[in-house]
Chains A and B, each alone.
Chain A
Amino acid sequence: GQNIDQPTEMTATEGAIVQINCTYQTSGFNGLFWYQQHAGEAPTFLSYNVLDGLEEKGRFSSFLSRSKGYSYLLLKELQMKDSASYLCAVNEGNNDMRFGAGTRLTVKP
């Protein structure tokens, strides 16, 4: 089977840094993705990791450790518009992209 686990909810303050963790156990691994989903909208791509290490993209960074089955998404200088759900997803190969249940982030003033 497959498991992709992430916290259900997180709250942080505007201007702060927040780290959203994701652990996974999947039958295959062909890369890990993070998506952002605002309420009532479709998920949109944020980042991708296939090798161990940190990928930085502006205020957002994502880290992967394949041996530990672990990733995190780091959001810096939080803005109110960052309030959304953040979905961790694993490409298992063979047209199969599996998603975690998502972490709902609330940014407070």
Chain B
Amino acid sequence: DTAVSQTPKYLVTQMGNDKSIKCEQNLGHDTMYWYKQDSKKFLKIMFSYNNKELIINETVPNRFSPKSPDKAHLNLHINSLELGDSAVYFCASSRDPGSGNTIYFGEGSWLTVV
């Protein structure tokens, strides 16, 4: 039933580890996103994909690598985790990025790096 689902919801891990967050949408949307929300609640775009193709790649460290095996999935892999990576990561999707097409968010993945 869930439109945009991401796993895991909570993740606590040590510095230096590599972790992945998975995301799937069953809305038939062409575009998927990863957003990062830090402790100040600022929601910042990291990546967007349209039909498996990378469209936006903001200035995030190259330790972050998105992978889109098909247009319904966009996974986020993070290498060599650092304390500053602690945040909530939201996956989202939308139809064609024309006007009026709102973004639907997943429930978020709370990442804590210790």
- 24-52 of chain A: CB within 8 A of chain B: 30-31, 33, 37, 41-45, 48, 50
Contact present for A97 and B33 (CB under 8 Å): yes
Docked Cα-Cα span, A95 to B50, in Å, equals 8
Question: Does chain A have a CB within 8 A of B31?
Answer: yes
Report whether A102 and B107 are in contact in the complex, using a CB–CB cutoff of 8 Å.
no
- How many chain B residues touch A (CB < 8 A): the figure is 28
Binds A, one of B17-25, B79-87, B95-103: B95-103
Distance in Å: Cβ of B63 to nearest Cβ of chain A: 23
User: Which B69-114 residues have C-beta < 8 A from chain A?
Assistant: 90, 94, 97-108
The reply to whether the CB of A67 lies closer than 8 angstroms to some CB of chain B is no
Q: What 0/1 readout, one digit per residue, does chain B (58-69) give for beta carbons within 8 Å of chain A?
A: 000000000000
A76 at the binding interface (Cβ < 8 Å): no
In whole Å, how far is A39's beta carbon from the nearest beta carbon of chain B? Answer: 9
> What are 20 pairs between A and B in contact, CB < 8 Å?
A42-B90, A42-B105, A42-B106, A42-B107, A48-B100, A50-B99, A87-B43, A91-B97, A91-B99, A91-B101, A94-B56, A95-B50, A95-B55, A96-B48, A96-B55, A96-B56, A97-B33, A97-B94, A99-B35, A99-B44
